[in-house]
Chains A and B, each alone.
Chain A
Amino acid sequence: MKILIVEDNQDLADNISNYLEKEGNVCSKAANLFEAENRLMEFEYDMIILDIMLPDGQGLEILRTLKRETNQNAGVIIVSAKNALDDRLLGLDLGADDYLTKPFHLSELNARIKAIFRGRKFQGQQLIKFNEIEIDPETQEVKVNDELLTLTKKEYELLLYFIANKNRVLTKQNIAEHLWGDHMDMLDSFDFVYQHIKNLRKKLTAAGSEDYLANVYGMGYKMKSTV
């Protein structure tokens, strides 16, 4: 995937490109509106990660340019420190696909990028394959060795999240935040994470899948692509 990261903060842009390049993506960075627009004129991207507070203008301007002056078919994720509802709605109105408030987990950004990419590129009809596990994002059906598996909504989301961030350690905090958003600071939400993972693992292995989910020091989990 070709990704353009429009972010004036060099450190943050590095973080994002570092993480995403490990996933096999090609990332370019633009530190301001001018650079971003130049790049958009020259190259084609699959995904744009857009900070809406830029030194030389509102990042939302790029959304307008994108629609008016280029024939890009890139997905756009807005990244902002402002949790302002108006910005969120305006951004989504102008054609952004998603909105993330700083600070965010890179694993969360990664999962969202993949979801948007799937949705745009294949109109959601692409099957996600992970060894013997197969997921149809449109019907939310999960099959192991062609056998249908019944998962709860949270277990399904969890599986998708793990596959999007395969071979990476996801902390319980990461997972809880992905599943429950702002309500994750519940005292014992980490126990629930454990419960959900336990159930998911049980269902997968019962259906004949390998046990890919590994516990890391009791604090995080990792989905290994090989056992």
Chain B
Amino acid sequence: MRLITKTTLYYLAVSIIVFGIGGIVTYNLIRNEIQLETQYQMAASLPRLEERISRWIDRQRDLSNMNTNQLWVSEVSGPATELVFSDTVAMHPHLDQMEMMRKLSVVKDLNGKFVRIEMMDVFVEDSDIYESVVKIITRLFILLAIALILAGFFISKILLRPFDETLERIRKFKVQDKAKMDLPKTSTKEFATLNQFIGDMTEQAREEYQALKKFSEDASHEIQTPLAIAQGKLELLTDDPNLSEEQFALITSTQNALKRLSKVQQSLALLTKIENREFNPQHQTDVSTLVENTLENFKELFEMRDLRVDSQIDRGVTIKLDKHLGAIMLDNLVHNAIRHNQEGGYVKIELDKKHLRISNSGAPPPGDPARMFRRFEKNGSIESTGLGLAIVKEICDYHSMKIRYMYSTDHQIEVVF
């Protein structure tokens, strides 16, 4: 949920509470005010009524003729009382139904006679007040909600713009970037602190990456050079005509070991480069051609191992794949299919828009197939570096492609684009 949506919701929740309490307060205030006003009105009309009653008494008229639905006058024995207000129910003059009313009763001494006057007035019902208050509060609340949402939308656009820009920069940031990360200027203190922090952090990451990259390049150089020296010395040694067979055998196996060491080092350097994302995975690569070229390169090896090649390659399959890495991946996969095969077996290659599948005959895998893509995982063969499939896996991960291995009647490795 967006920050501004959340804030708005919290504001609205608080508003509901405030408006609820406000409603109760408003209700009570209005109710009291109306009650006081009604009583005041009745009390104010009392002197004129008293005058009228006095006149009636003077003229000896029957006071009961004065009575209406809302006025009740009768002679009593006394004594005079103060004004007393109370609630009652009486017939409404127009609506013709019983309604809540406010009643004033008093006994007055008028021209020597004690007269009880009971006066009633329609009182605004509680439920009416309640309804009105609820209506008012609801409308106000809706108005406020609309205002809050609109304001939130616009304020977030303005207020959060530097933050959104920072996010965008972070999203685009790569440790391989040549230039320092350019962050937007902002007058908001929190965002400025954030930018400062992110700027420092990315700069440090970039510097460390550059140092690491330099280190692995130098390390590669520092390892390959002595290897080249050793290799060369051994080669010069084989020129010696007095060499015995044992000595020659020792030299050859040393050369093989050096070669393997150099290959392992090169593979590790490649893995590091992939991990450091030093390639171009957005490149549109024609995989069909790449597969065909790879098969062409291995043609001789297929023939020499007497392997049948069965290929079903759809034309023009183009995916986002670094060209260099794509070639390495195919090389390793085909290489693998030849290596773990049997004399007179087959290699089957299928390519369509969705996947690449390479199947080959051969003995079932001795180990756990899930471990196959790990580094230095070898199936007993000392010739392999144990890094070929690890490199394939790394390339697949880099390009967000899935890879899986299956064995039913033959080995199958499937890459899903």
Contact = CB atoms under 8 A, between A and B. Distances in A.
A82 B232 contact: no
A32 interface: no
A81 B223 CA distance: 8
A220 B255 contact: no
B338 A103 contact: no
Secondary structure call for the B interface: helix
B80 interface: no
Nearest to B324: A85
Interface residues of B, number: 46
Interface in B230-273: 230-233, 235-236, 238-239, 245, 248-249, 252, 255-256, 258-260, 262-263, 266, 269
A168 interface: yes
A187 B339 contact: yes
Contacts of B255: 171, 173
Given A19-B235, A81-B224, A102-B228, A171 B300 contact: no
B264 to A, nearest CB: 11
A183 B221 contact: no
Interface residues of A, number: 39
Nearest to B253: A219
B125 interface: no
A159 B269 CA distance: 35
Interface in A86-114: 101-107
A180 interface: yes
Interface string A187-227: 11000100100000000000000000000110110000000
B311 to A, nearest CB: 19
A171 B238 contact: yes
Interface stretch (A9-17, A36-44, A60-68): A9-17
Contacts of A12: 225, 228-229, 232
A219 B252 CA distance: 8
B339 A83 contact: no
B417 to A, nearest CB: 24
A53 interface: yes
Contacts of B249: 217, 219
User: Which 10 residue pairs of A and B lie closest in terms of their CB atoms, listed nearest first?
Assistant: A15-B232, A103-B228, A81-B224, A81-B221, A102-B228, A102-B224, A103-B227, A217-B245, A11-B229, A103-B231
Interface of B: 217, 220-225, 227-233, 235-236, 238-239, 245, 248-249, 252, 255-256, 258-260, 262-263, 266, 269, 297-298, 300-301, 304-305, 324, 331, 335, 338-339, 381, 383-385
